[in-house]
Chain A
Amino acid sequence: MPPRTRTPASRRAVRHRLAADAGLLVVAAAFVLPLAWVVLSSLDAQADLRVKLPDGLTFDNFDAVLTPDITFTPLLNSLLLCGGGTALTVACAALAAYPLSRFRSRLNRPFLLTILFATSLPITAIMVPVYALFVQVNLIDTMQGTIFFFAASQLPFAIWLMKNFMDGVPKELEEAAWTDGASSFQSLVRVVLPLMGPGVAVVTVFSFVMMWGNFFVPFMLLLTPDQMPAAVSINEFFGNRGTVVYGQLAAFSVIYSTPVILLYVGVARRLGGGFALGGAVKG
């Protein structure tokens, strides 16, 4: 007979763990159904709106949507818009964060408070005036206009995150660079930013993911169909084509979503799950 080593307390702990596991799995089952639908339907020749196992796996849906018209052009547009917007955001945020993090000034606090205030404004609300404004200054239906607006809307949070990450880089290393005759800009680019590589990666990925998934901004600011990013062109599956081919819609959804999920996983793994929340929700 094996020795009984389990104390009542550890038995209770096991019971609690099992109960917690069961509770979580029930919630997960509810959460996974819509995700299962999109994955299974994309591989199903007879996909409809219900979750079901396909009779046989097929890549026909992917074949059908992998055309310049349906997939490549919108994805390329998304890449241009979000890549451009992200590059602009990260560059401006890195520059802006430097004086905020490095120099004491009476203006820092009001500036940071304004930034934090802007972080939580409902951007959706200003899309109508932005449209009206863009019509007046001829930026409507232009990629660059949309990129500028994307960058501006993401900047407050990016500056805030970037500043917090920069605060974590010790000042001594920079001072060493200064003694060697480096300018502030050189020490920012050569010393500070490389040392906060993970922080820069977080800001970059977060900005990109937010823009990639954003629907309302390009929906309002772009009009020409061949400039539309995937976020808007996906609407076409429903809008004008009569009957919806759900399998193809699902296949397109999978293709469109995969990049951001991979990016998120790549960064989250290195930095822990709550990375995107950064400094904004400490407390």
Chain B
Amino acid sequence: MSARSSTRSLTRALPRALPLTPAVILLLLFLAGPIAYCAYIAFTDLQLTGQAEDSFIGFENFRTAFGDEAFLNAVWLTLVFTVISALLGQNTLGLALAALMQRASKPVRTLVGGIVVTAWVLPEVVAGFLLYAFFRREGTLNAILDWLHLPTQNWLYTLPILAVSFANVWRGTAFSMLVYSAALNEIPKEITEAAEVDGAGGWRRMWHITLPMIRRSIGTNLMLITLQTLSVFGLIWVMTRGGPGGKSQTLPLFMYEEAFQKSMIGYGTAVALLLLVVGSLFSVLYLRLLRTEV
């Protein structure tokens, strides 16, 4: 391309790109800026109080983190929370609901869809309170177990990570259900019917025909719910505050506690940066799954 034509295309491109400016400014100032700042203060010993200025300390925060039992505990709990609530819970339950809805009668489909989606649309804090009430010692779950003559316990105290995981399943399943419903609706009826005529039972049809046909939806769904679950804060905060004794303290809560309750902004941000890096890796994977779309 000659210099002149590239200048001409530039003079034409610039006014056309003008409408992008407000969005780009907002994104640079309030999203890219903080992320860059995050990458900087993660390497400092910035604190909230009692310190004249922060200094650059290199990888010290990260070294501290990997020697810190509370941090490793938070990593482990984040993993447990993500696997139980997103991969096993939301994903599987969402797929099961979507598959059942294909066969169910319309009123039942509408009713069940409405209930599950309501749980999803509720504000995060409200969802937290509802599930807090459900799992409390004097709450609904124990009342039901008692009525069935099953042993009860103080769920938020003995198994807090399980309780918040179930809460997240309750709140998040609608997303997977909607994704899978859309995917299943796109499978041509003839294919499943042909398999049925050939004598393939329900499970075999699911395993050999349906799942392979919706595998891209499965991929994107897993990616997105993992990312959503990694950043859950309000739900756990309301239900347990990360306690008791850090037993439900996932990384976002650990980050918050280090940065604010212990005033170690630098350290808290280092944890945040790790979370961002993990999120970015998932995000790149997600882009690869979608790469033909853009």
A152-B31 in contact given A35-B130, A234-B129 (Cβ < 8 Å):
yes
Q: Specify which of A96, A113, A122, A214 is in contact with B227 (CB 8 Å cutoff).
A: A122
A155 vs B101: C-alpha distance when bound (angstroms): 33
A151 within 8 A of B: yes
Consensus secondary structure, chain B interface: helix
Would you call A148 and B29 a contact (CB within 8 A)? yes
Closest approach, in angstroms, between the C-beta of A38 and any C-beta of chain B?
6
Q: Mark B98-118, 1 if CB is under 8 A from A, else 0.
A: 001111110011011101111
Q: For the complex of A and B, list the 4 residue pairs with the smallest distance between their C-beta atoms, beginning with the closest.
A: A152-B30, A215-B234, A213-B123, A122-B231
Would you call A116 and B287 a contact (CB within 8 A)? yes
Q: Mark A227-241, 1 if CB is under 8 A from B, else 0.
A: 000111011000000
Consensus secondary structure, chain A interface: helix
Of A43-51, A53-61, A62-70, A172-180, the one with at least 4 CB within 8 A of chain B: A43-51
Of B16-24, B60-68, B69-77, B203-211, the one with at least 4 CB within 8 A of chain A: B16-24
Would you call A148 and B124 a contact (CB within 8 A)? no
B242 within 8 A of A: no
B179 within 8 A of A: yes
Would you call A33 and B140 a contact (CB within 8 A)? yes
Q: For B102, what are the chain A residues with a Cβ–Cβ distance below 8 Å?
A: 20
Q: For A184, what are the chain B residues with a Cβ–Cβ distance below 8 Å?
A: 16, 19
Q: For A88, what are the chain B residues with a Cβ–Cβ distance below 8 Å?
A: 26
Q: For B31, what are the chain A residues with a Cβ–Cβ distance below 8 Å?
A: 118, 126, 152-153, 155-156
Would you call A37 and B134 a contact (CB within 8 A)? yes
Q: Mark A145-172, 1 if CB is under 8 A from B, else 0.
A: 0001101110110010000000000000
B194 within 8 A of A: no
Closest approach, in angstroms, between the C-beta of A121 and any C-beta of chain B?
5
* A interface, size bucket: 35 or more
Q: List 26 A-B contacts (CB under 8 A).
A: A20-B102, A21-B104, A21-B105, A24-B100, A27-B116, A37-B133, A41-B133, A92-B22, A118-B31, A122-B275, A125-B255, A129-B35, A131-B259, A148-B30, A151-B26, A185-B19, A213-B121, A230-B123, A234-B125, A234-B129, A246-B133, A261-B122, A276-B178, A277-B175, A282-B220, A283-B216
Would you call A34 and B97 a contact (CB within 8 A)? no
Q: Specify which of A27, A152, A213 is in contact with B112 (CB 8 Å cutoff).
A: A27
Given contacts A122-B230, A264-B121, 7 further A-B contacts (CB under 8 A): A21-B104, A24-B104, A31-B115, A91-B22, A126-B276, A151-B30, A253-B129
A148-B255 in contact given A129-B37, A213-B123 (Cβ < 8 Å):
no
Q: For A120, what are the chain B residues with a Cβ–Cβ distance below 8 Å?
A: 223-224, 227, 279, 282-283, 286
A190 within 8 A of B: no
A268 vs B116: C-alpha distance when bound (angstroms): 14
Closest approach, in angstroms, between the C-beta of A281 and any C-beta of chain B?
5
B190 within 8 A of A: no
